[in-house]
Structure 1
Amino acid sequence: MKCILPLVLVFLLFFQGCSSPSGTENERKSNTTANYLDYSGREDVLSGGARMIKISTPKGDFNVWTKRVGNNPTMRVLLLHGGPGGTHEAFECFDSYLPKAGIEYYYYDQLGSHYSDQPNDTSLWNIDRFVEEVEQVRKALDLDKDNFYLLGHSWGGILATEYALKYQDNLKGLIISNMMSSVPAYNKYAEEVLGPQMPKEVLSEIKALEVKNDFANPRYMELLMPHFYTQHALRMPLEEWPDPVNRMFNHMNNTIYVQMQGHSEFGITGNASLKNWDRSQDLANIKVPTLTIGGQHDTMDPKHMEWMATQFPEGRYLHCPNGSHMAFYDDQQTYFNGLISFIKDVDNPGKGN
């Protein structure tokens, strides 16, 4: 017994020494989570992170709605929704992924969108004014080059590109989600690649309605929803579309949407103001780390979005093989694993997740 006891004590001390780091690691994770969820001392604690921000425009002052989720001094993502005229609601699935990654993020309804002021002056709906709006929101939220990631989806990708071309010194990272750098190239892809995937009789009827400018005809969307939207916008049966997506479409400001985008996602038609937008030759001027994201079944050409990543000095591409235009729903794991990895790698190079 005298010989065995010292050996037992040595074993116990060794075991305790080996187990203590995991306890420390658990405490570290617990403290990190507690800090992330701690809103004390923030101006928006009363409202759970929501606040209205006053912005100035050539036509007066208005308020736009934002909502913060989490605390992280080095990783803060401002989300620019699609449309134009859509809402932040489509992004609500981000709640399932970014908090557990410890990433702070901001929902934001652009001026004219459902939760923000909705002035009737159509002169406000232009790219340059939206860029200045984003800059005012950035300042109000105290985002800067040490923490500010800008994620733009669809139309938001156009807005994020334009913002970066003017204000990239304020950015830490840029994410262009499901948006090409050229609307003419997007229209060509819709015409030459996506259109022919539809049954010939369906495409012919759609084209006939477009020629007659009969977009108000219910038949137009009756054809597009099953033959285009559920194939290339969100690859789920309509009855399975998530509630946030349905709310976003229900709250769409169609005045802004039609003025800038046209009547559908099947290319930009008519006199829509974005019809000739093209920044393909300017991408090399964006020096900050940039991630482009594309879906195999996207309304946008995934090859073009992959090419875009090669034009940025610090570009990367994330391909969602099962994804469409809203790949954060129909290829969710790929989308969020890649997005989080990018944000964390820019924050702490070489570490990734």
Structure 2
Amino acid sequence: MWREIEPDERHEIMVDGHKVIAYVFGEGPETLLCLNGGPGLPCDYLREAHSCLKDRGFKVVAFDQLGTGASDRPEDEGLWTIARYVEETEAVRRTLQLGPVHLLGHSWGGWLGIDYALTYPDAIKSLILADTVADMPHLVSELERLRAALGAETVAMMQAHEAAGTFDHPEYQAAITLLNYRHVCRLPDWPAPVKRSLSDWNMGPYVTMQGPNEFLYIGNLKDWNRIADLKRIAAPVLIVVGEHDELTPACALRMKTALPAGATMNVVRNASHMPFYENPEGYYPPLLDFLARVSG
């Protein structure tokens, strides 16, 4: 279903003295505001996967978070906090006069989306938590389980390199590559928007907030946990998770059981962390059904 579409509008938004670039597709009465993963990734991979919803009557908005894509790239590590990104998201919504939105957060964008929904509950009509978590310590335990499937000798090798800080060693990178193809995107050839985002990754925000790779969390979000707060989210929630996702179905179930009754979950078969590319047939129909139910 996805395809690359030129944005109908491109906006430069000033947020606390820094330029943030936003992209708008369509002009429907209902707005889907997309928060992409990373941190540090341009929004291309998520924007191109959802701009097609303009054909279904939605206005679709995405933006390059500060430090990424066409937005400014300051080097102050103090800027890389989830609280600052929450305020940036609100500045984009307010500046573009979007009103209450359907908020779709993917991966790190889901952590951001949860904090945004808790901070600005009246700004959202619904919340889509795609391939994300609400409890980082629990995720770390799940990642250890995924790593263990590589075998004890490989895990010991990885731990030795992590202790030494030699993350660029070829044998360590080989293990990370294998995990990426198992749990990030299982397609033999990754789609062009994914490659484009990854090729322009700003590791400054990523390392500061998360860590050196997808399977080691040592940044300032390593203790982030909103499970106890999820009961305060009154908006309708759809949880999406790939069957083989690095942010695992167990993490998704942990969110569902903590949310108010009525939250729904779509486990996308034969997919990992990029279900909109890996299995579009399993991703888009449940998303569209949910949006139809909560719109208006």
2:105 aligned with 1:152: yes
Look up the match of 2:125.
172
SS across alignment from 1:172 = strand
Look up the match of 2:26.
70
SS across alignment from 1:98 = helix
Q: 2:179 aligns with which of 228, 234, 239?
A: 228
Look up the match of 1:206.
158
In structure 2, the gaps of 5 or more residues are 1-6
d(CA) in 1 for partners of 2:265, 2:31 = 21
Q: 2:139 aligns with which of 186, 201, 211?
A: 186
d(CA) in 2 for partners of 1:301, 1:245 = 20
Shift of 1:96: 7.1
SS across alignment from 2:120 = helix
Matched ranges for 1:26-37 at <5 A = none
Q: 1:264 aligns with which of 200, 209, 213?
A: 213
Amino acid paired to 1:183 = M
Judge conservation of contact 1:93–1:329 (CA < 8 Å) in 2. no
Judge conservation of contact 1:153–1:176 (CA < 8 Å) in 2. yes
| Residues 111-168 of structure 1 deviation map (CA, whole Å, 9 limit, x = unaligned) | 11121001111111111111111111110111223xx111111110000000000101
Sort the Cα spacing of 1:66 and 1:96 in 2 relative to 1 into closer, same or farther, 3 A: closer
SS across alignment from 1:82 = coil
Amino acid paired to 1:217 = H
SS across alignment from 1:106 = strand
Judge conservation of contact 2:25–2:51 (CA < 8 Å) in 1. no
Overall identity of the aligned pairs, in %: 35
Sort the Cα spacing of 1:68 and 1:120 in 2 relative to 1 into closer, same or farther, 3 A: same
Judge conservation of contact 2:24–2:62 (CA < 8 Å) in 1. yes
Q: Computing the radius of gyration over CA atoms, which structure comes out larger, 1 or 2?
A: 1
Shift of 1:236: 1.8
Shift of 1:222: 2.4
Give me the CA root mean square deviation: 1.6
Look up the match of 1:284.
231
Sort the Cα spacing of 1:248 and 1:199 in 2 relative to 1 into closer, same or farther, 3 A: same
Look up the match of 2:266.
318
TM-score (norm 2): 0.93
Amino acid paired to 1:134 = T
d(CA) in 1 for partners of 2:116, 2:50 = 25
Look up the match of 2:202.
253
Look up the match of 1:100.
55
Sort the Cα spacing of 1:332 and 1:96 in 2 relative to 1 into closer, same or farther, 3 A: farther
Q: Between Structure 1 and Structure 2, which shows a larger proportion of helix residues?
A: 1
TM-score (norm 1): 0.78
* Structure 1 runs (4+) greater than 6 angstroms displaced: none
